[in-house]
């Protein structure tokens, strides 16, 4: 590449030009970097940030990180709908059963829904990971809606004593989201919901 400096340029200016010229020859594989499947693992947080993903944890499995990036645009596009809640849970590697208040018999409390989550064996079986999912559901759900969340960990079954086939074992942790009952907060806004742990049982 020819120099753009004038004939009377100083040695320092020419040295700076030579240095910066070398940087322009570095390969920048933009198509690779902006692809959730081919982006290097250590650069995934930056790709997630560029797509406005609300939370990111280093301990998540790489497959979950890539799935969160893959689904980010669709989730943001439909934020505040039942589909976006399903997509969020799916991106974390979980299976979801969802029932809204109008689907119950008799009908439940308006603007409430129930979530039953089953985590597969390829994702962390920790309370922290479940809490991450709950927080993402809270960010994605309709603002006026409240929900009951039940989470379990599925385990592949085998033949037990007496030849009985156990298909799955669920360790359930039930949490309920309740509106604040203390009154009106600043500028007439109701204070945000809180979680109350109800029970832990194995079925």
Query: Tens digits of per-residue pLDDT, 69-120?
Result: 999 999 999 999 989 999 999 999 888 888 888 888 898 899 898 888 888 7
Residue 132, C-beta contacts closer than 8 angstroms, at least 6 positions apart: 55, 57, 60, 92
pLDDT of 169 > 80? The answer is no
- List the single range of 31-40, 48-57, 100-109 with lowest mean pLDDT: 100-109
Both tokens of residue 72? 């980010």
- List the single range of 20-24, 34-38, 102-106, 135-139 with lowest mean pLDDT: 20-24
- The DSSP annotation for 99-118 comes to EEGGGSSS--STTEEEEEEE
Model confidence, pTM: 0.63
How many angstroms separate the CA atoms of 127 and 129, rounded?
5
Cβ atoms 146, 178 nearer than 8 A = yes
CB atoms under 10 Å from CB of 81, counted, come to 14
Give the model's pLDDT for residue 167. Answer: 35
């Amino acid at each position: 590449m020819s120099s753009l400096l004038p004939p009377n340029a100083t040695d320092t200016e020419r040295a700076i030009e030579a240095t910066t010229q070398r940087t322009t020859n570095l390969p920048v594989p933009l198509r690779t970097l902006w692809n959730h499947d081919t982006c290097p693992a250590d650069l995934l947080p930056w790709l997630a940030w560029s797509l406005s993903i609300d939370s990111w944890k280093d301990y998540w499995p790489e497959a979950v990180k890539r799935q969160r990036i893959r689904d980010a645009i669709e989730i943001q596009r439909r934020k505040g709908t039942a589909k976006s809640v399903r997509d969020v849970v799916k991106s974390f590697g979980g299976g979801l059963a969802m029932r809204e208040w109008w689907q119950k018999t008799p009908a439940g409390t308006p603007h409430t829904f129930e979530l039953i989550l089953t985590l597969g064996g390829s994702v962390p079986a920790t309370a922290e990971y479940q809490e991450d999912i709950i927080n993402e559901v809270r960010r994605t759900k309709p603002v006026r809606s409240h929900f009951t969340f039940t989470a379990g960990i599925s385990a592949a079954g085998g033949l037990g004593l007496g030849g009985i086939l156990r298909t799955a074992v669920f360790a359930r942790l039930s949490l309920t989201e309740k509106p604040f009952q203390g009154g009106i907060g600043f500028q007439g806004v109701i204070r945000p919901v809180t979680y109350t742990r109800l029970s832990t049982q194995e079925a």
